[in-house]
Structure formats: structure tokens, C-alpha cells
Amino acid sequence: MNGARMTRQHAMRALALGVMVAGALTLAGCGLFTTAVPVVEVPGGDVVRGQQALINYGCISCHTVPGIAAADTHVGPPLTEWARRRYIAGSLTNEPENLIDWIVNPQEIEPGTAMPTLGVSPDDARDIASYLYTLD
């Protein structure tokens, strides 16, 4: 008789587990669990060179950049989860060519912005852009 009760308990546990798994799958299906970071490829860009250029040009003196320990300042917005952003500086849609333009000449795009035009070459800006799109 003890055996019968155990069996019922097991059945209840299995049922509860099944309900939890089904619930989790439903939530996942609704997109509540977003694990994959959208990655944007920048044609011709070099991610490794981009990270180095970002350091060399001093971007990290104003921006928090995940993965670069020294970059923990808040003069400019943090450059986290970059591939998920809709807009660049609130004005341009977040696409590779727009990001490159912004990095090369923010003052032309938004005169008077607190981000200075730093003399970044278009090639370096392309590398930096390809690096930024990998950031989570």
C-alpha cells in the first residue's frame, strides 16, 4: 500500500514537472527569454582592430564599454548591447553606415553635441563599428 502512495506521489511530481516545462517553453515562445544577441556584420570591418582603435582614440575616456575594464565613465552613454539599439545619438537609425558616419564626424550630424569629432579615419571607424556591434 505504501508502494501505491509512492506511485501517486511520483505521478504528481512528474505532472508538476511537466506543467513547469510546458510553462517555460510557452514563455520562451513568447520571447520572454531572449538569450541570443543580434549580431550585425559590418562588411570589411575588423572586430579585433576595432577594439584596439576604440582604446587608441580615447573613446573609453567618455564611454563605458563592456569588456574593457578601464572604460567605466559616463560622459557619453554606455555602449552596451549596441546591436539592440534602434537609434544612434537619438537621431540616426542604428545601421553600420550611419554608425561609421557618426564616429567619423558627430559634429556634422549633430552640431554642438558633447561628442567631439576626433579625426577617426573611415577605415578605423568601420573597424570600431564592427566591434561595437558585438557588444552585449
Binding site for ligand HEC (CB under 6 A): 54, 57-59, 61-63, 75-77, 79, 88-90, 102-103, 110, 113-116, 118, 120, 128
Rounded to a whole number of angstroms, the minimum distance from the CB of residue 66 to ligand HEC is 13
Distance CA 21, CA 6 (A): 22
Q: In the structure grid, which three cell numbers stand for residue 18, read together?
A: 511537466
* Residue closer to ligand HEC (CB basis): 5 or 51: 51
Distance CA 111, CA 106 (A): 7
Backbone phi and psi for residue 99, each to the nearest 5 degrees, phi listed first:
-65, -40
* Residue closer to ligand HEC (CB basis): 23 or 116: 116
* Residue closer to ligand HEC (CB basis): 8 or 136: 136
Rounded to a whole number of angstroms, the minimum distance from the CB of residue 55 to ligand HEC is 9
Specify whether the CB–CB gap between 107 and 119 falls below 8 A.
no
